[in-house]
A and B are shown apart, each in its own frame.
Chain A
Amino acid sequence: MGEPSLSAAFVAVIRRDLLLAMRRKSDVLTTLFFFVIVVSLFPLGIGPEMAMLRKIAPGILWVAALLATMLALPRLFAADYADGTLEQMALSAVPLGVLVTGKIVAHWLLSGLPLALLAPVLGLQFDLATDALGVLALALLIGTPVLSLIGAIGAALTLGVRGGGVLVSLLVLPLYVPVLIFGAGAVEADLSGLGATAHLSLLAAFLALAAFFGPWATTVALRIALE
């Protein structure tokens, strides 16, 4: 064969994962409904105390987003592992890292992106100001790819392990803490009038770091899982 077509393979992985998700919508919708319901329970439980709601809103939206992205993580590689597709990816002339990055992008498009778009709507229940809602969406847009990138490492490490779903949470949630602190911090900073630029810049720095190391670490973990 000649030179393998990297970009075609990268796009094909993303399109394939989106197509598979469309054929089995329940998996994607579970994540979104979970996010919507968990976030909506808090205003109902606490009652119409606006000051309190405004104070807790960033934290609650971010924690719910973390847990919702976690929900889809165990499935990230499990199906491909079970039906032999992952073996084929590992043996492809296209570097496994390229294909894995495609899968992570697809995971973000199916979990992180819809959450970031939904969050401002849900934020209305907490009486957040318009510009705070904008900062929230922006922080989630920068932060959720980090969640997908770090989550993929956990999903790869626990592949084929019994009870991997629980293990992946224990492994990955502590690593999500910095994203949670600066993500929720961005909205709080904006609410208190300090401006969110510093927090958002730090989030973007996390994203750059995770985008560099995440696919590499995931690839190494997958090769170990396949042995």
Chain B
Amino acid sequence: MLEASNLECVRGEKSLFRGLSFRLESATCLMVQGTNGSGKTSLLRMLCGLSQPAHGEIRWNGEPIGKLAEDYRGELLYCGHAGAVKDDLTALENARLSATLAGEPVDEQAARAALRQLGLKGREDLPARVLSAGQKRRVALTRLLLETRKLWVLDEPLTALDKAAVANLGGVIDAHLAGGGIAVLTSHQELPLSGRVDHLRLD
């Protein structure tokens, strides 16, 4: 269970949002919406513990995330704007390395299967440099399939994806929610999900 109470985000002298509270139970998705610069990414980075809120507290199963440290990070999967995909490595190497760096090494078979599931069949051994923006995004998203984490924090996961890939990703997120997971995501596009979706507007 993820719980945020009375969060405030300050950038420079401006307060982007204040008094923000919510509570996410298992099998729930939180869709964060708002205009550009309204603090969506800042909120997501706070939820990951990458930055500290100016005010307020974030708790995971009742414990402050700062105190849980690695125990919390072991439950968390963050996919940011930058996909952490290395141009000089192949799609397969990227997928396997990011899983290993996250602390969950996978074998080649599993990594290939994940890449295939996201529609990268035949591209596994190409360097990421020659892949399109959408294909690179798919390589970044293979982590969703390879790592077993309870909480997904996805910042604009649909950027550069085509319609079929968006539907595919919707299915992956639905399966995660059905398995008792929690997802927090931002998007300017429609993402059809069948599970429970809460909405949060930052303006």
Contacts and interface: CB of A to CB of B under 8 A. Distances in A.
Contacts of A161: none
Contacts of B86: 20, 83, 85
Given A84-B81, A87-B78, A87-B80, A92 B97 contact: no
B147 interface: yes
A109 interface: no
Contacts of A19: 89, 93
The 6 closest A-B pairs by CB, nearest first: A4-B103, A84-B82, A93-B74, A93-B103, A23-B88, A84-B84
A87 B101 contact: no
A90 B81 contact: no
Nearest to B128: A83
Contacts of B78: 87-88, 91
Interface in A23-78: 23-24
Interface of A: 1, 4-6, 8-9, 12-13, 16, 19-20, 23-24, 82-85, 87-95, 99, 226-227
B61 to A, nearest CB: 15
B105 A90 contact: no
A24 B88 contact: yes
Given A12-B105, A19-B93, A92-B102, 17 more contacts: A4-B70, A5-B100, A8-B100, A9-B101, A12-B101, A20-B86, A20-B89, A87-B50, A87-B80, A87-B82, A88-B78, A88-B84, A92-B101, A93-B74, A94-B70, A99-B101, A226-B50
Given A227-B50, A227-B51, A84 B83 contact: yes
Classify the interface of chain B: helix, strand, loop or mixed: loop
B51 A13 contact: no
A1 B147 CA distance: 8
A16 B149 CA distance: 24
Contacts of B104: 1, 4-5, 93
Contacts of A13: 101
Nearest to B143: A88
Contacts of B49: 91
Interface residues of B, number: 32
A6 B101 CA distance: 9
B186 to A, nearest CB: 16
Secondary structure call for the A interface: helix
A116 to B, nearest CB: 27
A92 B89 contact: no
Contacts of B70: 4, 93-95
A83 to B, nearest CB: 5
B103 A92 contact: yes
Nearest to A86: B84
B142 interface: no
B82 A4 contact: no
B141 interface: no
Contact of B82 (A16, A83, A90): A83
Nearest to A85: B84
Interface in B32-50: 48-50
Contact of B105 (A5, A16, A82, A92): A5
Nearest to B50: A226
A148 to B, nearest CB: 20
A93 B82 contact: no
A226 B78 CA distance: 14
Contacts of A90: 50
Contacts of A226: 50
A92 B88 contact: no
Given A1-B147, A20-B88, A23-B88, A94 B102 contact: yes
A191 to B, nearest CB: 44
A12 B103 CA distance: 10
A39 B75 CA distance: 52
B135 interface: no
Given A1-B74, A1-B149, A12 B84 contact: no
A27 to B, nearest CB: 11
A210 B121 CA distance: 46
A215 to B, nearest CB: 16
